[in-house]
Structure 1
Amino acid sequence: MKNKIQILIASFFICGLVTIVNTAKAQQTIEEIQINKNAALDEIRELLIYNFDPTNPDFKEGIVDSEVKFEINEKGKIVNVHSKGDCKNVSKEIESILSHLQYKVNSKKLSKDMLASIYVMPVRVHITE
């Protein structure tokens, strides 16, 4: 009876370990893709610039550097937008703009591998009075 309990506990331990390893492998398959100025997704940068309102009094004055990460779903919609940078209010504005865009990425420009990727776009904003 004692051996059966030990075998059962060992089985649970092995199953848990296999689950953890498989989860770690799944998380490693999503890679980050940097969006440069000449990238196919430069339209997103242009829409962000067009919709950004630098006159908000809550924004930090000067040059504000941020980095925004997002994904593109199967329908071409921008989802899971997260921004961080020098000014949290600018980051919130960037997230809000990209999350609410009616723009859809042309899926013909992207391969299936790119749909499962996280895009990283640096954003530099010059805020003046």
Structure 2
Amino acid sequence: MASLVAVPSPARVGPQALTRSLGVWLFDGFAYDEGRALLTRPDGLALMPRPKTELVLMLLLRRAGSAVSRTELLDAVWPGSDVGDDNVTQCITELRRAFGERAGLLKTVQRCGYCLDAEVAWRPSG
């Protein structure tokens, strides 16, 4: 069995940091397998988030415990695009729906953005 690796939270993450890794993120009973783009809930239900929602999740996992601004999300997930805040809102809503009873893990930080309020660990696949 592979060991868990603590994930440091960088001060700011750009689009280049959203490259896939061959590993699994673990948080509050959830498992997110980046290589397969599969989120498994504590009840065993496996979900495949839409591509942009998945990128938002990846960024929130890498910055768990820290606020991620809407601007950072827009810059990282929609680089160079002229999209609005509604796109971020839709992804956050989808993630909260996927989290089900644990939707409260995804906090709104007033006048800033969002924070995944969970201890996160990363385990290499294999």
TM-score, length-scaled by structure 2: 0.29
Whichever of the two has the greater Rg, that structure is 1
TM-score, length-scaled by structure 1: 0.28
